[in-house]
Structure formats: structure tokens, C-alpha cells
């Protein structure tokens, strides 16, 4: 069962990634970024449909419509989307693998980027 653990999980207020003008507040040197969510794939396929049925819908409308539709879908309909999400998750796993592996490797010469 999906335990929400606690409803304390409040999404961040804004997507503002504080850019530290001085110190680089980076936790991971090269965060392997996470995988996409089923919603991401779902929207990719539905975005056109939503707009097709809601050519007048704007930013908030479509967003809410999409979310409402998403919950309307059955697990079977979400399955294909979850499948894509799972595929992307595997991709993220590889990233982590490389990220962790590289990290472990003490500088193998690679110049690694760094600043950019």
C-alpha cells in the first residue's frame, strides 16, 4: 500500500533553484538526475488530446484537466505509461551506475568537466 509516509511531503513552493552566486551548493558532483514519471509520458501522449478537446484551455486548465484525466485512467491505462516510466527508470539506473562508478574511480584521467 502506498503509504504517504506522512502528508508532510509538501512540494517545494517554487521551481526556483537558488543559484548560489558564490559557493556551488551542489550536493552531488554530477547528480545522475532521476528518471521521468509516468505522468511525463502520459502528458506527452495526452497533451495533444487535451489541446484537441480544449483548444481554449490555457496553462492551468490543461494542467488540471490532465491530472484529472490521469486519475480517471485505470491502472491498465496507466500501465503503458508506467511501462515507459519504468524504461526511463532503467535509464536512470545506468546513470547512477556510471555516476557512482566514476565517482569511485579516483580521477581516471578524465578531464571531467567542471565548470561550465
Partner DNA sequence: CCCTTGATTGTTTCC
Partner DNA sequence: GGAAACAATCAAGGG
Q: How far is CA 16 from the centre of its chain?
A: 16
Q: Considering only CA atoms, which of 42, 47, 31 is closest in space to residue 85? A: 42
- Residues 6 or more apart whose Cβ sits within 8 Å of residue 42: 66, 70, 73, 78, 81
- List the x/- string, 47-86, binding to DNA by CB under 7 A: x---x------xxx-xxx-xxx-xx----------x--xx
Q: Examine residue 20 and tell whether it contacts DNA (CB under 7 A).
A: no
User: Does 17 participate in binding DNA (rule CB under 7 A)?
Assistant: yes
Q: What are phi and psi of 23, to 5 degrees?
A: -65, 145
Please report how close the Cβ of residue 106 comes to DNA at its closest, in angstroms. Answer: 17
| Chain contacts with DNA (rule: CB under 7 A) | 3, 5-6, 8-9, 11-17, 27, 31, 33-40, 43-44, 47, 51, 58-60, 62-64, 66-68, 70-71, 82, 85-86, 89, 92-93, 96, 100
Amino acid at each position: 500500500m502506498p503509504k504517504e509516509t506522512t502528508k508532510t511531503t509538501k512540494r517545494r513552493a517554487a521551481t526556483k533553484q537558488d543559484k548560489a552566486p558564490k559557493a556551488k551548493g551542489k550536493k552531488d558532483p554530477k547528480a545522475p538526475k532521476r528518471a521521468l514519471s509516468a505522468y511525463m509520458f502520459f502528458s506527452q501522449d495526452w497533451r495533444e488530446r487535451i489541446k484537441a478537446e480544449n483548444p481554449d484551455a490555457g496553462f492551468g486548465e490543461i494542467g488540471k484537466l490532465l491530472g484529472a484525466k490521469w486519475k480517471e485512467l485505470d491502472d491498465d491505462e496507466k500501465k503503458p505509461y508506467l511501462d515507459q516510466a519504468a524504461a526511463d527508470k532503467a535509464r536512470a539506473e545506468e546513470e547512477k551506475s556510471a555516476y557512482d562508478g566514476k565517482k569511485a574511480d579516483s580521477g581516471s584521467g578524465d578531464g571531467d568537466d567542471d565548470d561550465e
